[in-house]
Amino acid sequence: MAYELHYWPCIQGRGEFVRLALEEAGADYRDITREDGIDDMVAGLDAPPRPAFAPPYLRDGDLVVGQTAAILHYLGPRLGLVGESEADRIWTHQIQLTIADAVAEVHDTHHPIASSLFYEDQKPEAARRAAAFRDERIPKFLGWLERVLGANHAGPRHLVGDRLSYADLSLFQLVEGLAYAFPQATERALAATPKVVALHRLVAARPRIAAYLASDRRLAFSEDGIFRRYPELDG
């Protein structure tokens, strides 16, 4: 039975981290809302006894898994995108959670007060939040990933061990999003993190990922998603 991915149909968002893993593995999956609309997704959020808080969520038969990092933790061993040892699996999950922290901070640069308000309703606060994010947090997150790559006992080609993991794919997506939303600040940070740059290029060149990126399944970034380009926020 195909995996069923439930996420908003018109944006990359957090669902893209899951989608990259499914694409890299050549997994049989259905992008439900893109095929059938959002009714099933919305209904699934109210499904007892263990409803997901918000999309994305993944359905595998009778099992439903919500939260991007939890979905990838579940899929990792099934798709061959995580090491075999418990230590490797926990470490990969920890990296993914840190990337999730970065994504949440990206969101808060354009919605620092409330998601229910428009960006235009909180522009002064967004400017202050974005300044701290681009000057302090982007270098800190990418610098940490650089140190993780440098400390990997198997070499800096991957974050964990000597094989591609879902964390590598998520690093790629984080860099892609940051480069879209904060091109100037990200360029400065990447100049100090050559191992991150190399891994980003390695992932982009993988045959299935390259084919996916060139396909119409890969939505473009936009100002409706998490990574938004507002030039005034890039300083």
The string of pLDDT tens digits covering residues 44-71 is: 998 888 899 999 999 999 999 999 999 9
Average pLDDT over residues 205-234: 98
pLDDT the model gives residue 46: 86
pLDDT the model gives residue 37: 94
Question: How far apart, in whole angstroms, are the C-alpha atoms of residue 74 and residue 37?
Answer: 25
pLDDT the model gives residue 128: 98
Q: What is the pLDDT of residues 128-143, one digit of tens each?
A: 999 999 999 999 999 9
| Buried-exposed string 87-105: b where 16+ CB fall within 10 A, e elsewhere | ebbebbbebbbbbbebbee
pLDDT band at 1 (very low <50, low <70, confident <90, very high): confident
pLDDT the model gives residue 103: 98
Question: How far apart, in whole angstroms, are the C-alpha atoms of residue 111 and residue 32?
Answer: 28
